[in-house]
Structure 1
Amino acid sequence: MLDFNFSEDQEILRETAREFAKMVIAKNIPKMMSERRIPAEVFQGLAKMNFLGMNISEEYGGMNADAVTTGIVAEEIARADPTASIPVLFLVDNAWSYLISKYGSEDLKKDLLPKVVKGEAIVGIASTEPNFGSDIGSMTSRAVRNGDAYTLNGEKSYISLVRDIKERTGGYVTVVKTDMQKGTKGVTLFYLPYEEDKFDLTDLHEMGREGSSWGAFKFHDVNLGEKYIIGKENGGFKIIHEGFEFARALIAVISAGSAMKALENGSNYLKTRKAFGSELAKFQGLQFQLADNVARMEAARMMGYKALWTYDQEQRFHRISRFQVSKEVAIAKLISTTWAFDTINDALQWQGAFGYSKDCPEEWALRGIRSFQLAEGSREIMKVIIARETLGKEFIK
């Protein structure tokens, strides 16, 4: 039988996260937008609340939180930050530190994970290259074995949190080739720590997400021991998708949370703004549009939590196949990011000229949420996954 209830502990966590988001995150949004960086108070607060590295085991200071519980916090953060900047930090740091917690060497976990939980290090993801987006098998970054160590060289682009990782220390779950002839079977994951003399950084400017840094970097002659491998040599392609799927499911819930906050703001405007002698909320055309958006976003939110639940079922209990997880996550991300953008756009439209102004939170949200239709796999990739798992691999080119 289906159970749509959160546990008592999860509901308490939601209230705690909501209060933190209201008292710390929401009040810092103007400062974040003017300075174009996440304020120290927010970052320190996330660490104090144990919201960084939530999924890391208690052995290293984490909460050992499941994916659904992580989604609850993500939703509350998204409602408080319409720019989607802080949600990006939250989802990236949690999804990819989890992958290290699961597949990293003991030496790496002992050195890195307590720092992540304390906010002393950030874990990012570096997979995209200038000429290869989601085509991991064609990338050119490589690691060459030299005895018990590896020398890494390559280039990554459109990477989140580059400035944050540089300033606060940390590194990237990085995809490289260890066998250039084997395609996806020659892919290995490394934790690539940031070293100033080994990295050439380039800042890129985003359409939105004012507080989140974004950029590209080249890394040259980085020497790493075996302890920095995540999983096994040439086994990275299979496990990197576990990180992507966690991040995609969080994006679905974040997008729904942001859109539902936009509906709240838009509804309040409709109830207070008058035209032709009546409140806008009394016009049936706007009521129907509102109803459609509420229905869509309730469905999208539910699909996001279903995706997180499915992820937990596979990761923690091995009750569901990886392929089923891939499909459920792809459905949730495709639906939520598409409908959220349309919903926020409608809420902006209801607010007339104010909606088009830089003072309107829905203007910030529209640009921020648009990024999630591309991040961690585009809408087109989500459709490929859904079609593949519905038709079978033999029908996909």
Structure 2
Amino acid sequence: MDFNLSEEEKLLKDNIHEFLQKKLRPIMRTIDQEERIPREFVREAGKMGIWGTVFSKDVGGLQLPMTSAVLIAEELGWADFSLATGVMYVLEEGWGYVLDRLGSSELRQEVLPKVVEGEYFLGVASTEPTGGSDVASIRTQAIKKDGNYVIRGQKIYISGALEAKEWGGGHLVLAKTNPQEKHKGISIIYVPTTDERVKVTKINNMGRMGISTAIVNYEDVSVPQKNLVGEENKGFYHAMEGFNHARVLVAGICLGAAKAILDQGIEYIKNREAFGQKLKDFQAIAFEAAELYTRLEMARLLTYKAAWALDKGVKDAHVIVAMAKLTAPQVALDIAKSVMMWMGGYGYSKDALIEAGFRGIVSYLVGAEGAMNIMKLIISRGILA
């Protein structure tokens, strides 16, 4: 059992860290305040291969394993701990993986090279007003007509809808192709958001301000049948595969954000004085720092194992992934909360930027890529079956 990164992994991590330290960390505040990820950064990141880490080489990807994708996710979370850029990465990699593996050759070549270059945005449209975690209950329909699918329905809390509308690209839409069935009647269909019959309305979130969240209405949007991803009526199972890959990347993003925030906190308590001594010399703070550092390392090891399990095709990989998704966001939130309290009034201010991380991390506890109770449900079914 070897816990060391390979030479290739070290080189990848170092190169990405250096790039993000120069290009992303300095604009984190701007991303949060102006509520957008600059296109020039997205394109530069594309040249680094960031948006196509796990994609096949024939579409411009690096074809690296999920373990490498998690290393990049950590670096993105560290560089932009508001999580906006991390959200984009989770979507491009997690759902681009599904399109790359299951899409037709024509569709893959049409969409994925532009995603890799940072020209297109790619996401998933699953959640509806009637529910998010209960995927089987979706009502959006895809009706076959004249060799096309006609999509009709509404999605909500969809990430990147404004980016896809403005930049190009679209979403993998979960829709009922056999409405009489529940989860066995769902298909995944790629729908370009630039279609004029796709209507997008922005939702104002509390965090991860640099990437949009929206209500998306599909008003009889007609797309060719080649846009079907995977098998018809097998979309539920394909989506679960996508969620597994997205969730382990979420954990990686949260690890990076937590490290960035904890590093700031440790530096603060090593230098800040109160009552004639450094804050680090107060046992209450020192012990709390020790516990948080340990929990972060535990979450990291669990996340790495989850990525490894996906790469190896381990039978219960989805359970380990759920454990990582359950753990990493909670650890990250606890770190953000504690560091804000160590810093007092400064930590509560926007100058410290900790609050941006706090706001972003919360999204991964309340529901994005699966709420905490859903992770517990997956784990409990796995260990009690």
Question: Do these two structures clear the TM 0.5 threshold for a shared fold by scoring above it?
Answer: yes
Distance 1:135 1:359 in 2: 39
Distance 1:33 1:136 in 2: 31
Q: How does 1:91-110 map to 2 (within 5 A)?
A: 91-110=90-109
Structure 1 residue 65: Cα displacement: 1.4
Q: Is 1:383–2:376 an aligned residue pair?
A: yes
Distance 1:78 1:39 in 2: 17
What does the per-residue CA deviation read over 1:38-68, in whole Å, with 9 as the maximum and x for residues that have no partner?
A: 0123212211111112211111111011101
Contact conserved, 1:28 with 1:39, CA < 8 A, in 2? no
Distance 2:221 2:198 in 1: 9
> Equivalent of 2:326, from 329, 334, 337?
334
Letter in 1 for 2:198: F
SS of match in other structure, 1:59 = helix
Distance 1:178 1:196 in 2: 21
The residue that corresponds to 2:361 in the other structure is 369
Distance 1:255 1:119 in 2: 23
Q: Is 1:70–2:62 an aligned residue pair?
A: no
Q: How does 1:162-311 map to 2 (within 5 A)?
A: 162-311=161-310
Structure 1 residue 158: Cα displacement: 0.2
Gaps of 5+ in 1: 315-319, 393-397
Contact conserved, 2:349 with 2:355, CA < 8 A, in 1? yes
Greater than 2 Å deviation, 4+ residue runs: none
Structure 1 residue 147: Cα displacement: 4.3
Distance 1:132 1:354 in 2: 39
Contact conserved, 1:310 with 1:325, CA < 8 A, in 2? yes
Contact conserved, 1:52 with 1:118, CA < 8 A, in 2? yes
Q: Is 1:344–2:340 an aligned residue pair?
A: no
Letter in 2 for 1:101: D
Gaps of 5+ in 2: none
Q: Which is further off, 289-298 or 117-126?
A: 117-126
SS of match in other structure, 1:52 = helix
Contact conserved, 1:108 with 1:227, CA < 8 A, in 2? yes
The residue that corresponds to 2:128 in the other structure is 129
Distance 2:298 2:18 in 1: 25
RMSD: 1.0
Letter in 2 for 1:334: L
TM-score when normalising by structure 1 = 0.95
Distance 1:41 1:28 in 2: 12
What does the per-residue CA deviation read over 1:108-165, in whole Å, with 9 as the maximum and x for residues that have no partner?
A: 0121111111112111110000112111111100011124321111100001111111
Structure 1 residue 31: Cα displacement: 2.1
The residue that corresponds to 1:50 in the other structure is 49
Contact conserved, 2:32 with 2:356, CA < 8 A, in 1? no
Distance 1:72 1:263 in 2: 18
TM-score when normalising by structure 2 = 0.98
Letter in 2 for 1:382: M
SS of match in other structure, 2:305 = helix
Q: Percent identity?
A: 36
Aligned length: 384
SS of match in other structure, 1:221 = strand
Contact conserved, 2:195 with 2:221, CA < 8 A, in 1? no
Structure 1 residue 343: Cα displacement: 1.3
